[in-house]
């Protein structure tokens, strides 16, 4: 981590691990500034109240693709000034900021640095104390051991933005002393990160980035070639987020609809609606309502449900508790999924079975070692649902490849037989298994680390060999 002795003591980090993002609150005397707030602004308001400070500014490093910003609503509620990079067209009041512009915060100040790459107008905000840079809020520009991906604005500008990303990182690095903190918004599992496979440690200061970040170690042409060739698919919902952020979103409705009985949920599932079961993958596999889908309530939920759910479709939720349902509701609101039409519990009071008399089903959850005796046997099909980059780095010789986000449209391509489906750790395999089961297939879900396939002695090949 960075040397906290050179950073103003009051920088609070707000983690959103399910999206791999961080927001920041800078406290300077009686004022505060928020950098890249998420949509659920209550977390920010609680911090401001606890510190007894006034919010003077909300600064956005860029128009985000992976989450809906809480900036417009936060400024409406608090009266703060919303700062947006110059050149961006938005439908709400804001103060445009250009490279070199300065925001005074008592004894410290934020200085804007134009760092194009992740987007064309991207800004990094350098925090100065007594004229010395002590931290840089880098948004989607310089990340920890990586950079923000450069293909979200469209393939026609990817090459140009990739070159600009390299130059931006170099210019910023030249400005910062070794112990300046690097505080990005993306890069903690966010798919806005370019995903370089090496050097992605949590050493968040300029000195470590100069020793680890490919943008600061490679020449421009080599960096651009590696950056562009290494980028994989990104979630489908990204296409809807940036336009929504330009329009401005209000505070989300986090209330749940009135509880539905299990029969209504079962009927919705039979009708082909998306009825999502939030329980852990083993519990779902052991017993679930026919036609429901397995999206375990953990960090990957937001990304993969947002990726697969047809945009704007009605969604119903099943959870173990009202707390689980509320957590899912909040997580999904961050990416604009708000059409929750029904919800219900998987467990009744006093041992009552809410699914009694309804059609339920199950399928096995297994390990790679369980698969080994069936490799190559007639009627046994292995489907790998990882991303293309993962597949090319190493896959089972006998597997077919259908990335999870393509599976709903490619179910007919899966050959007849029993389907063993796997990913890298089990989450995506569970989702894929439920999609296949809903389509009437005989499923075996491999919930295991891919490294266990090597330990089990399965034949692994690489597309790069």
Do residue 212 and residue 329 come from a single domain?
A: no
Among 329, 361, 393, where does a domain finish? 361
Position 199 scores a pLDDT of 42
pLDDT at 10 over 90: no
pLDDT digits (tens, 9 = 90+) for 45-74: 999 999 999 999 999 999 999 999 999 999
Res 16: pLDDT: 95
| Cross-strand partners of 39 | none
Range of the domain at 337: 262-361
d(CA 268, CA 316): 8
Domain count for the chain: 3
How much is the pLDDT for 195? 66
Q: Which residue has the higher pLDDT, 200 or 302?
A: 302
pLDDT for 6 beyond 90:
no
In a domain, 186, yes or no: yes
- Could you read off the pLDDT of 325-354 as tens digits, one per residue? 999 999 999 999 999 999 999 987 767 889
Q: How confident is the model at residue 160, as a pLDDT? A: 97
pLDDT number for residue 198? 43
Start-to-end C-alpha separation, the chain: 37
Q: Is 254 a domain residue? A: no
Are residues 218 and 108 part of one domain?
yes
Give the whole-angstrom CA distance, residue 438 versus residue 425. Answer: 22
Query: Lowest-pLDDT range, 203-217, 296-310, 356-370?
Result: 203-217
Q: How confident is the model at residue 192 (pLDDT cuts 50, 70, 90)?
A: confident
More confident residue, 194 or 134: 134
What's residue 9's pLDDT? 47
To the nearest whole number, what is the mean pLDDT of the chain?
93
CA dist 318 and 278 (Å) reads 6
Whether 440 has a pLDDT exceeding 80, the answer reads yes
Most confidently predicted of 201-210, 343-352, 397-406: 397-406
Q: For the residues 280-292, what does the mean pLDDT come to?
A: 97
Residues 357 and 371 in one domain: no
Boundary residue ending a domain (361, 393, 417): 361
Domain boundary among 247, 277, 295: 247
- Let me know whether 118 and 183 are in one domain: yes
pLDDT given at position 251: 87
Give the range among 98-107, 185-194, 263-272 with minimum mean pLDDT.
Answer: 185-194
pLDDT confidence bin for 200, thresholds 50/70/90 = very low
Tell me how far apart the alpha carbons of residues 230 and 244 are, in angstroms, rounded to a whole number: 28
pLDDT cut 70: percent of the chain above it: 95
**Nearest in space to 424 (alpha carbons), one of 386, 376, 380, 457:** 386
- Nearest alpha carbon to residue 167 among 109, 122, 101, 232: 122
* 46 shares its domain with 99: yes
| Other Cβ atoms closer than 10 A to 132 | 10
Q: Domain check: are 438 and 451 in the same one?
A: yes
Confidence of residue 463 (pLDDT cuts 50, 70, 90): confident
311 and 269 in a common domain: yes
- Over residues 66-102, the pLDDT tens digits come to 999 999 999 999 999 999 999 999 999 999 999 999 9
Handedness of CA 415, 419, 423, 429 (dihedral sign): positive
From 88, 30, 40, select the one nearest 330 (Cα to Cα): 40
Average pLDDT on 189-202 reads 66
Can you give the pLDDT at residue 202?
A: 56
Q: Report if residue 318 sits inside a domain.
A: yes
Question: 59: closest CA among 97, 11, 13?
Answer: 97
Asked if pLDDT for residue 4 goes beyond 80, the answer is no
Instruction: Residue 308: give its domain's CATH number.
Output: 3.40.250.10
- The reply to whether 94 falls in a domain is yes
Are both 392 and 347 inside the same structural domain? no
190 and 167 fall within a common domain: yes
Tell me the C-alpha distance between 219 and 108, whole Å.
Answer: 35
Looking up residue 210, the CATH number of its domain turns out to be 3.60.15.10
Residue 18 in domain: yes
In a domain, 255, yes or no: no
Say if residue 389 is in the same domain as residue 300. no
> Is residue 256 a part of any domain in this protein?
no
Predicted pLDDT of residue 465? 46
């Amino acid at each position: 981590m960075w040397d906290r002795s050179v950073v103003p003591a009051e920088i609070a980090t707000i983690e959103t691990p399910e999206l791999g993002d961080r927001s920041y609150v800078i406290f300077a005397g009686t004022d505060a500034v928020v950098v890249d707030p998420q949509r659920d602004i209550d977390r920010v308001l609680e911090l401001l109240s606890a510190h007894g400070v006034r919010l003077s500014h909300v600064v956005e490093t860029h128009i985000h693709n992976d989450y809906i910003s809480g900036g417009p609503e936060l400024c409406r509620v608090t009266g703060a000034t919303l700062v947006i990079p110059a050149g961006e067209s938005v439908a709400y009041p804001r103060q445009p900021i250009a490279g070199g512009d300065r925001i005074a915060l008592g004894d410290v100040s934020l200085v804007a640095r134009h760092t194009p790459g992740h987007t064309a107008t991207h800004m990094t905000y350098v925090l100065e104390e007594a004229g010395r840079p002590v931290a840089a809020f880098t948004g989607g520009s310089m990340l920890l051991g990586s950079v923000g991906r450069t293909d979200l604005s469209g393939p026609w500008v990817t090459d140009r933005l990739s070159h600009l990303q390299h130059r931006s990182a170099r210019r910023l690095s030249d400005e910062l002393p070794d112990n300046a903190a690097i505080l990005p918004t993306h890069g903690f599992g966010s798919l806005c990160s370019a995903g370089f496979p090496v050097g992605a440690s949590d050493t968040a200061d300029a000195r470590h980035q100069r020793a680890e970040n490919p943008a600061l170690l490679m020449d421009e042409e080599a960096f651009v070639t590696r950056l562009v060739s290494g980028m994989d698919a990104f979630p489908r919902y990204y296409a809807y987020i940036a336009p929504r952020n330009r329009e401005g979103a209000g505070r989300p409705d986090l209330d749940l609809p009135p509880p539905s009985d299990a029969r209504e949920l079962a009927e919705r599932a039979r009708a082909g609606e998306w009825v999502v079961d939030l329980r852990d993958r083993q519990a779902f596999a052991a017993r679930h309502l026919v036609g429901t889908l397995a999206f375990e309530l953990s960090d990957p939920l937001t990304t993969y449900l947002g990726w697969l759910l047809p945009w704007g479709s009605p969604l119903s939720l099943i959870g173990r508790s009202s707390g689980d349902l509320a957590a899912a509701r909040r997580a999904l609101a961050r990416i604009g999924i708000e059409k929750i039409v029904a919800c219900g519990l998987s467990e009744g009071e006093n041992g009552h079975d809410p699914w009694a008399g309804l059609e339920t089903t199950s399928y096995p959850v297994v390990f790679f070692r369980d698969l080994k005796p069936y490799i190559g046997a007639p009627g046994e099909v292995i489907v790998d649902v990882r991303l293309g980059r993962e597949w090319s780095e190493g896959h089972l010789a006998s597997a077919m490849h259908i990335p999870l986000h393509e599976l709903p449209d490619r179910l007919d391509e899966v050959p007849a037989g029993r389907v063993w489906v796997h990913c890298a750790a089990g989450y995506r395999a569970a989702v894929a298994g439920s999609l296949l089961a809903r389509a009437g297939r005989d499923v075996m879900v491999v919930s295991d680390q891919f490294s266990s396939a090597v330990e089990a002695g399965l034949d692994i090949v690489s597309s790069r060999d």
